[in-house]
């Protein structure tokens, strides 16, 4: 007993985790490349992009290659897994909003992008996002409705987000996108899924603004495969992505 107590007293936790140089720096699979190509090919018919980033690793889950592909598109940046964040959530949100405000000011190509922090366990969070989507779609003012893409890194919560949007936007309980707690569940673009109807329902129930334009036939979202980056320079970033579930 005395030996155990002495050993415990002598224990000093390490303050730094040494990273091995042998850590793989890539998880760029064939369906990631194919998915990015499909996304790029579909953009001409897309009026809105929902870009998902993981709230737990907000900067590391940003994909610069995907960002270049959707540059110039009307975009809502959705920080998923907000319900899994533990460290000073208000402070993190404030810092991220400040980061995006500065980034928007410095880059005219992304100016005006909305930023939303989403909790899958909070219906009001989903309804708030639906209001942003309705406002963005109404600005497009298309008689045939608006097609949107939900994109992001693997296992960032895209399919779960789509299911929640349909549940609250259309009062449909059945899931339309297969989900799983691992990357690679979605491997190709889905068929368009309606998340908002056109007409007065969308204006009354989903939007709080008086912006002009209509939703036409509604808002339709296409789920996409998660797209990893071809190479990760920093081994620590690779470990973060693995811990967040983006690497299988």
pLDDT digit string (tens) for 153-180? 999 999 999 999 999 888 766 556 555 4
Could you give the CA distance from residue 229 to residue 32 in angstroms, rounded to a whole number? 9
> In this structure, are residues 66 and 32 in contact, taking their beta carbons and an 8 Å threshold?
no
The partner residues of 117 in beta bridges, in order of sequence, read 79
Sorted by where each begins, the domain ranges of the chain are: 27-243
Could you give the CA distance from residue 178 to residue 173 in angstroms, rounded to a whole number? 14
Q: By mean pLDDT, which of 10-14, 157-161, 218-222, 230-234 is the weakest?
A: 10-14
Per residue in 84-132, pLDDT (tens digit) is: 877 677 788 999 999 988 876 555 455 557 999 999 999 999 999 999 9
Topology of domain 27-243, per CATH?
A: Rossmann fold (3.40.50)
Between the alpha carbon of residue 165 and those of residues 45, 120, 211, 230, the distances in Å are 21, 10, 21, 30
The pairing of beta strand 193-196 with beta strand 75-80: unpaired
Q: What is the pTM of this model?
A: 0.81
Per residue in 9-28, pLDDT (tens digit) is: 678 888 888 888 889 899 99
Could you give the CA distance from residue 72 to residue 43 in angstroms, rounded to a whole number? 11
Q: Please report which confidence band the pLDDT of residue 240 belongs to, taking 50, 70 and 90 as the band edges.
A: very high
Mean pLDDT of 65-72: 93
Q: If we measure between CA atoms, which residue out of 152, 178, 161, 158 comes closest to residue 64?
A: 152
How confident is the model at residue 13, as a pLDDT?
A: 84
> In this structure, are residues 126 and 196 in contact, taking their beta carbons and an 8 Å threshold?
no
Q: Token pair of 11, please? A: 């224990």
Residue 153 CB neighbour total at 10 angstroms: 29
């Amino acid at each position: 007993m005395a030996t155990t107590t002495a050993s415990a007293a002598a224990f000093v936790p390490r303050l730094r985790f040494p990273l091995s140089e042998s850590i793989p720096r890539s998880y760029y699979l064939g369906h990631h490349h194919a998915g990015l190509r499909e996304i790029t090919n579909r953009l001409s018919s897309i009026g809105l992009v929902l870009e998902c980033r993981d709230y737990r690793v907000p900067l590391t889950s940003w994909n610069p290659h995907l960002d270049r592909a959707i540059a110039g598109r009307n975009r809502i940046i959705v920080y998923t897994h907000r319900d899994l964040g533990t460290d000073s959530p208000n402070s993190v949100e404030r810092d991220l909003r400040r980061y995006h405000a500065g980034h928007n000011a410095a880059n005219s190509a992304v100016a005006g992008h909305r930023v939303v922090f989403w909790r899958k366990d909070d219906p009001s969070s989903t309804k708030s996002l639906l209001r942003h989507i309705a406002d963005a779609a109404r600005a497009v003012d298309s008689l045939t409705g608006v097609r949107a893409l939900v994109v992001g890194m693997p296992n960032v919560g895209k399919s779960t987000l789509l299911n929640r949007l349909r549940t609250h936007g259309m009062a449909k309980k059945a899931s339309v996108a297969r989900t799983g707690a691992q990357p690679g569940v979605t491997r190709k673009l889905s068929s368009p899924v309606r998340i908002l109807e056109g007409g007065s329902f969308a204006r009354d129930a989903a939007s709080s603004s008086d912006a002009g334009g209509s939703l036409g036939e509604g808002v339709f979202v296409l789920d996409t495969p998660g797209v990893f980056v071809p190479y990760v320079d920093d081994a620590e970033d690779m470990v973060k992505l693995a811990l967040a579930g983006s690497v299988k």
